Amino acid sequence: MSHTSFVPFCTFIDTTFWAELNRRKLHEWRLDETPREISGQFSLFDTTGYECRLSLSHDSFERHSPGAYHGRLILLNTLENFKGVDRKALLFEEACKVWENIESGEWLLYPERLVPFVLTVYADLKKFHYYYWNCFPALCFPENVKEKVRSSMGAPHQRYNHPPRKLLIVFADPSPVVDCAGWPLRNLVAAVAYMKRSWRWCSFISLRGGNIMKDVWPTANCYQLPTSVGWERNIQGKMVPQFADMRKILMMVPNARFHVLFLFFRLMEQSVGLNLSLMKWRLVPEMKLERYTTLKVLIFGAGTLGSNIARCLMAWGVKKITFVDNSFVSYSNPVRQTLSEFEDAREARGKAETAARALQRIYPSIEAEGIFLRVPMPGHTIDESDLEAIEKLVITHDVVFLALDSREARWLPTVLATKHGKMAFSVALGFDNYVVIRHGVKTALEKVMPSPSGALIPYSELACYFCSDVTAPGNSAVDRTLDQQCTVSRAGLSMIASGVAVELLASILQYPDPLLAPANIGEPDDSSSLLGATPHQVRGYLSRFSQMTPCVRRFEKCVACGNTVSEEYSSRGAVFVKEVMNCPSYLEKLTGLDRLQDSINDVHIEFSDNDSVMSL
């Protein structure tokens, strides 16, 4: 009969465990380090290796299933906290719980409480690195336990109603070593020795297909907590934490190329949402991130502005982006248009399709589409099928960005966005200045709370891009030199304007009801939404590195968002649009701008002699 040795536990952690831990840390637990209840699985028929295996997976976070080991997860916020854990005190605390169960006899009703574990973890969610150290507390009681394996049985069995000295105690044994019991027997021996203090030996059935073991110990009287052990050793046998790199683990999976690729896509999805989720930890806990991830955005123009707008939208978690453009990538584009490159110019590929493919290369999970389509413009020819396609696109998206080169190209999308109640944003560039305007959205009901800092204009009353015009848009490409045909602006201007446009949308989406977000006349109210102000428009000037936020009411005679235009389009549809395309001045007659122009010519201002002299 030899001294008893027990096969220790080793922790096997599946990648699904780390994935679920990531999700819960980001979206539920955040900075909370409160211990969490988890469970681990074991096998009674594991014949490989030299250690008892405790397996953790995504199921470990669910309700504990029968036959599982129950434990606790302590997830630390920093690596320093993880290294600073008082592991001696933690082992003592866990051993005390085991001893209390033995003293009270609760282990007879809940035998699984004799085999607890506590897993300490630090997770670097950005790099997918995990530091962990598991503890399986075991009592060193009684001392000098000796063991004899009496026989090997073909199948496990149970015996009942025997005298105490002939009692066989069955335990689930995860040990793969033939002549050596697993770690769970340690605390079971301690419990039997404490409860039956007159016993000097006991027989146990190792439930694993299995052995009958006879354990013998000297007289054992113990009235206080015995010595305990339990911290897991690494594969080199050292008492140090273990490390896992999920990316390297996935690369080692054999013959599973497509499965691994899918898992990498999932890793990127989690990483994309990392920065957004971290905002909710301390800065903006009430932020509604789902308003970004479920958003469907339509961008007219896949050039310099459209590309940068799309990149910013991706960073906010937008997963559905559609480009509309009818031009091709030229050699001058890639250095300014961030979604095209040399090969696209060499192959003269369409800008919309090129931008969509680039988004999918950057973020494979995004739903990006590029549509080669010409936007009908006043003063230009029209294809009725183009009109139908554009209206369908506007209807099926939530937000419209107008990032087109010419003023007249923005007219039809503005009309359609107004008619169908979609949020629309115009972004335009000068040489060293830019403008971002959100168009008014008509809703059935407006509820605007008064602002202490000034008057508010409801969303439905905000001016669109054309509300300041007193003439109808026409063909601006006629009789233009090269510098007038191209957008000539300072190199960094488009990125600034695109960023401001997307940030304005981001702020509006955090208003309680985004379609009712008003604009403040005067200084913007930085408490308008969770992210701050929701101005009507932002005008920036690089020449003096400044910006302003004017607020303008909707013009009733507007050639794009005016009621007359909306009603005319609703009643005549494509026929109305064709008439505007062929004769842009028709809009002036329809809205009454022609009469307004005539009335200006009829205005006479009389000056007195003194006023005239002073004016000289």
How far CA 184 is from CA of 50, 165, 171, 201, in Å, comes to 15, 22, 8, 18
Cα separation, 189 vs 213, whole angstroms: 12
Spatial CB neighbours of 601, under 8 Å, sequence gap ≥ 6: none
Hey, what are 40's tokens?
């681990």
Report the catalytic residues. 486
Hey, what are 434's tokens?
């830019």
Backbone angles phi, psi at 433, to 5 degrees: -140, 160
* Beta-bridge partners for 446: none
Place of tokens 């697993």: 182
**Cis-peptide, bond into residue 218, ω within 30° of zero:** no
Other CB atoms closer than 10 Å to residue 496's CB: what's the count? 17
DSSP for residue 176: -
Spatial CB neighbours of 151, under 8 Å, sequence gap ≥ 6: 211, 212
Hey, what are 413's tokens?
């999308």
CA 245 remoteness from chain centre: 21
Cα separation, 425 vs 414, whole angstroms: 9
Hey, what are 577's tokens?
């649009």
Hey, what are 572's tokens?
């005549």
Hey, what are 313's tokens?
């939208």
Other CB atoms closer than 10 Å to residue 491's CB: what's the count? 9
Cα separation, 453 vs 392, whole angstroms: 41
Backbone angles phi, psi at 394, to 5 degrees: -65, -40
Angle at 563 between CA 560 and CA 564, to 5 degrees: 85
Largest CA distance in the chain: 131
* Burial environment of residue 369 by CB neighbours within 10 A (0 to 12, 13 to 18, 19 or more): middle
How far CA 461 is from CA of 20, 473, 535, 539, 571, in Å, comes to 47, 22, 13, 19, 23
DSSP calls for 423-467: EEEEEEE-SSEEEEEEPP---S----PPBTTB-EE-GGGB--TTT
Hey, what are 500's tokens?
């401001």
Cα separation, 216 vs 375, whole angstroms: 90
Hey, what are 499's tokens?
């960023």
Say if CB 528 and CB 517 are below 8 A apart: yes
CA 387 remoteness from chain centre: 36
